[in-house]
Amino acid sequence: MTTITTNSSRSTGTRATRVLGVVAIVLMTWVVVSGLFVTPADAVQLDSVRIMYVHVPSAWIAYLAFITTGIASGISVVRRHRSLGFDRVAGASAEVGVLFMAITLVTGSLWGRLTWGTFWQWDPRLTTTAFLFVTYVGYLAIRRLDATPQQRARRSSILALLAVLEIPLVHFSVVLWRSLHQEASVLNTDGDVRLDGLMLFTLFSGVLAFSAAFAWFVIHRQRVAALDDLRLTSGLDAALVERRAEAVTQ
């Protein structure tokens, strides 16, 4: 049984997360300002290139979330001590990750629409992200089913590890598939964008900002999950007392 320690405050915030939150907000503000106003528009794509500042970092976070869930699930399976804690992290990362996967898909789709006139291209990154999205929706659905944290941890960790196996295979298949079609190289939205120093810096800040936001969300989400599980366990103690009392009175 893992023990959950709580601090005595009534929220899940701690000094560390407050600092993290502030950093995220500051970086995000910089990225918004820079992305919308300071950086130049692209020669070919004009202002629609600015979607890149949301799309690329989101894609990065989507995969970061995928890796986080994978690693946390792996540890949860291997280690018996604190395995439930790692499972909570895996779940939190998946929830936040799904959000960023959706953002990646929507922004990628819009970007394609603006530059090439089509909402969807079968380029490997977008297609694999779509599969990743569906996989994680399934993962989250599975997580909601189980009654005890132990069952949930086991079933979803295995699913997450299978996803780690499956996504590279899917990606490789799609890459191989699209390489057969000559148009693949032409439809790459960010292939033609030339990045100058400021754009690159903004992009990089975007990645940092989104990462900070991701971390902030995940830390809070897994703390909430820990409190949920704690409620379940302490509920057990109360229920135990009740049930034993029943036996005596009957």
Partner 1 sequence: MRRTAAAVFRKDVLVELRSRALLTRVVPFAVLVLVLFAIALDSEPLVLRAGAGLVWMTTLFSALVVVQRSFEVERRDGALDVLKTLGVDGAALFVGKAAALIVQLLALVVVLLAGAVVLYGVNVEPSALVLLVTTAVLGSCGLGLVGTLYGGLVSGTSSRDTLLPLLLMPVTAPVLIGATRATESAFGGDVTDATTAWAWVGLLAVFCVLFAVAGAMSFGPLLDSDS
Partner 2 sequence: MVDVRDAVVAMGGFPALAGATLDVREGDIVVLAGPNGAGKTTLLRLCAGLVTPVRGSAQVFGLDVAEQRDAVRRRVGFLGHANGLYGELTTRENVAFHAALVGASNDEVDAALQRMNLAGRAADVTVARLSAGQRRRCALANIVVRRAGLWLLDEPHAGLDSDARAELDETLLSARRSGATIVLASHDLERLGNLRPRIVRIQSGIVVSDTAAGASTTGVAP
Pick from 100, 134, 114, 143: which is nearest to 48 by CA? 114
Q: What is the largest CA-CA distance in the chain?
A: 84
42 beta partners: 46
Residue 142 lies near partner 1 (rule: CB under 8 A): yes
Of the candidates 37, 147, 194, 197, which one interacts with partner 2 according to CB under 8 A? Answer: 147
Judged by beta carbon, residue 11 or residue 151, the one nearer partner 2 is 151
Judged by beta carbon, residue 181 or residue 231, the one nearer partner 2 is 231
- For residue 191, the minimal CB distance to partner 1 (Å) is 23
Residue 38 lies near partner 2 (rule: CB under 8 A): no
Of the candidates 25, 110, 166, 201, which one interacts with partner 1 according to CB under 8 A? Answer: 166
Residue 182 lies near partner 2 (rule: CB under 8 A): no
- For residue 128, the minimal CB distance to partner 1 (Å) is 9
46 beta partners: 42
236 beta partners: none
- For residue 180, the minimal CB distance to partner 2 (Å) is 46
Of the candidates 177, 186, 232, 236, which one interacts with partner 1 according to CB under 8 A? Answer: 177
Residue 137 lies near partner 1 (rule: CB under 8 A): yes
Judged by beta carbon, residue 40 or residue 168, the one nearer partner 1 is 168
**DSSP readout, the chain?**
-------SSSSS--HHHHHHHHHHHHHHHHHHHIIIIISPPBTTTBGGGGGHHHHHHHHHHHHHHHHHHHHHHHHHHH-STTHHHHHHHHHHHHHHHHHHHHHHHHHHHHHHHHHHS-S----HHHHHHHHHHHHHHHHHHHHTT-SSHHHHHHHHHHHHHHHHHHHHHHHHHHHHHHHTSGGGGTT-GGGSPPP-HHHHHHHHHHHHHHHHHHHHHHHHHHHHHHHHHHHHHHHHHHHHHHHHHHHHH-
Q: Identify which range of 34-42, 100-108, 213-221, 232-240 contacts partner 2 by CB under 8 A.
A: 232-240
247 binds, among partner 1, partner 2, none (CB under 5 to 8 A by kind): partner 2
232 binds, among partner 2, partner 1, none (CB under 5 to 8 A by kind): partner 2
Residue type at 238? A
Of the candidates 1, 165, 169, 180, which one interacts with partner 2 according to CB under 8 A? Answer: 1
Chain residues in the site for partner 1 (CB under 8 A): 77, 131-132, 134-135, 137-138, 141-142, 145-146, 151, 154-155, 158-159, 161-162, 165-167, 169-170, 172-174, 176-177, 180
Chain residues in the site for partner 2 (CB under 8 A): 1, 147-148, 232-233, 235-236, 239-240, 243-244, 246-248, 250
